[in-house]
A = this chain, B = another copy of it.
C-alpha cells in the first residue's frame, strides 16, 4: 500500500527522514554531557522562576489567542488584528489566573512578539508613574491601569530621533484659557515611529517644546487624548495613522501624529518636575536630573539580559540543528552510526564550531554581565539615596557602551546562526528570520549604537585624565581606574604567554583586555589633548575604545563570577564551573582573536603569541563540542517559545518542516489564483485535450 496521498498536493506521505533521525542524534549528543543540565538552568533562572515559567506555559500554550501556528503566514493586517486579540486576552487571562507581575512578564516573554499595547505598559504607564502629580495620577494613571485609556509615548519625529532637543512640535501656553496649544509647524515635525499610536491608542504622552511668555523652554511631556472614547475616531485637530510596513515589528502599529493648533487643558502638562503656573504661565525648572541616569542603567541592564535570551534562542536553534544536519563524509575521520559510515553532522566541522560555539559562550557572558549590572544598579540606587554619586558615572558610561556592544553582538550572532543553518535558515520555519527582523531595532533605539559609544568614550577619556593627574584612585567598584592605573604604571608591559595553554590563565586574560583598552584610551587622549584633533575626526577610534572597555567588562564579569560566586564554587557544582570556565576562556580568546589587531598594536602580545592564541581557540572548540547540546538545553527555552522547525527539543526537524509547509495558505488550493489569466492561455495555445491529465497530450 502506498504511503502517498495522491492528488492531495498539500499532504506529505507518511515517510521517515533518512536515518539516523534527529531524535536519535540528539539523544546521542545528550548522552555525552559532562554536567547536570537542570542544575545549570536553576543556577541561571532560579527554580522558582522556572516553575513559574512552566506554569504560565501550560496556560498560554492552550489559549487560542496565543497560538503561534499562523505566525509566519500572516499579512500585516492579520498581525495587527490578532495582536489586539492577544492584548485583550492577556489582560483577561492574567486576571483569571491571578498572575503576578513576573508571571505576566513571563507570558509576554514566551509569546515573544510585541503588540499594540506593548508601549502602553512599557512607556505610557511608567512615564505616568514617574512624572505626574497626584491629581494627574487620578486622571491618567488610574484609568490607564484599568485600560480605560490606552496610551503610547510620542517623542521621535520624522525629522528628529537621537537629537531630542531638536524636536519641532510646540506646546504654547495660552493664559487666557489656561490651555496649551499643540502644533506641528512642519512636515518633519510629525511624530513618527510611535508604537501603539497608529491604531490602538486613545492617549499619548507627547513630547513638545514648551513655549510660555514667548520663551522656548525645550521638550516637555504632555498627556493628550487623541481618539474619541465613544467610537475611537481621531479627535478634531489630530491627524493620526500607521507609518506603514517595517522590516520587522509588523505586529505593532507604529504611528504618526500631527496637531493642528490642538488645544489641551493645563492639566495635560506632566508637572511632577517642572510647572507652568496657571494664568501667568510662569515656568519653574525641574531639579537636577542625575537620578534619572539610574533608570537608564536599569533599562540597559535589562537590554543586556535580553541579549542573553536572544543569543540563547539563536544558538539553541542552530546548535541542535547542526547536530542533526549531515553534510558530506569527512574522509579523514568518517562518522559512523550502527557501524555504517554516515555523512558528518555539520557541528563536527571546525568551521561550524568556530561559527557557533563562541556565540554560546557569549550568551553566558551576557548573562553574567547583565546580572552584575542589576546588582550594581541596586547598589547605586541605595548609594544615591544616601547622596553618594560615586558609582553612577562609571556605571552609566559602561551601561551605554554595553548596550551598544551587546545588541550589536546579538544581531550579528542571530544572523550568523541563521546562516549556519544553511538553506533552511532562510525559511521562516527556522524561527530565525522573523526573530532577526524583530530584534534589529535594538541597535537603533534606546540610543543609537554608534552615538552611545561617544558617551562611554567621554567618560573613559575623563577618567584617564584624572588618573594621569593623580585625581582618581582604584576602588573595588571602579575597574576602569584600576586598569588605567596599571597601564600607566607599565605602558610597555608584555604578555607572559609562552605556550597556547598559558592563554587559559584568567589573570593573563584580564591583563590583556585591560591593557588593550587602556592603550586605546591613551592614544585617543594623546590625539585630542596633545595633537588637538577634533572629536569628529576621532569618532572611529572613539567607538573602538568604548568597545574595548566593554569587552573588558564582559570578560571580567564572566571570569570573576566563576571565581567568587557562592553557588558555583560549591563542590557539587564542579562540573558546571568547569564547563563555564572553558566557555569564559573561549569567549575571551575568541574575542581577542576577533580584535587581534588592537591587541597587537598595543604591543602587549607578539605575533608568536597570536599563533598560540589561535591554537588555543581551536583546542577549546574541541573541549566544548561534546557539551554543545547540553549548554543550549540549559537555556531551558521551550519549543513554544522557539517556534522553530530546526530547533525543536525532540529533533524532529524534517517532520516539522513538512508539517509547517502543509499549513502554507498557498497550499490550500491545488491550483493557484491567477492560473486562468496568466498561465493557462500560454499552455493552451493551439492545443486540444483528449483526456484529463494525459501526459504529453499536446504531442
Contact = CB atoms under 8 A, between A and B. Distances in A.
B351 A658 contact: no
Interface in A138-161: 139, 143, 146-150, 156, 158-161
A616 interface: no
A215 interface: no
B77 A350 contact: no
A666 interface: yes
A556 to B, nearest CB: 23
A564 interface: no
A242 B661 contact: yes
Nearest to A324: B159
A695 B9 contact: no
Interface in A381-400: none
Interface in A148-181: 148-150, 156, 158-163, 166, 168
B258 A433 contact: no
Instruction: Count this chain's copies in the assembly.
Output: 2
A689 B444 contact: no
Contact of A693 (B147, B188, B236, B443): B236
Interface in A298-347: 326-328, 330, 332-333, 343
Interface stretch (A84-92, A270-278, A372-380, A629-637): A84-92
Interface string A585-615: 0000000000011001101000100110010
B233 A693 contact: yes
A507 interface: no
B672 A253 contact: yes
Contacts of A428: 244-247
B239 A9 contact: yes
Interface in A227-264: 228-249, 253, 256, 258, 260-261
20 contacts: A3-B260, A4-B258, A12-B239, A80-B673, A91-B682, A146-B685, A147-B685, A158-B657, A225-B695, A229-B683, A231-B671, A232-B670, A234-B670, A244-B664, A245-B427, A245-B428, A246-B427, A333-B534, A351-B450, A426-B444
Q: Identify the interface centre among A147, A444, A655, A666: most chain B CB within 10 Å of its CB.
A: A666
B9 A240 contact: yes
Contacts of A547: none
B687 A148 contact: yes
Interface in A418-433: 418-419, 422-423, 425-429, 433
Contacts of A102: none
Interface in A180-218: 184-190, 192-193, 198-200, 202
A148 B683 contact: yes
B161 A422 contact: yes
B150 A4 contact: no
Interface in A1-35: 2-13, 15-18
A80 B666 contact: yes
A328 to B, nearest CB: 5
Given A4-B239, A535-B332, A693-B235, A674 B607 contact: no
Contacts of A351: 450, 539-540, 543
B350 A539 contact: yes
B683 A15 contact: no
A187 to B, nearest CB: 4
Nearest to A348: B536
Contacts of A199: 666, 672
Given A162-B327, A230-B693, A661 B350 contact: no
B343 A679 contact: no
B597 A15 contact: no
B72 A73 contact: no
Given A229-B689, A247-B426, A328-B163, A239 B443 contact: no
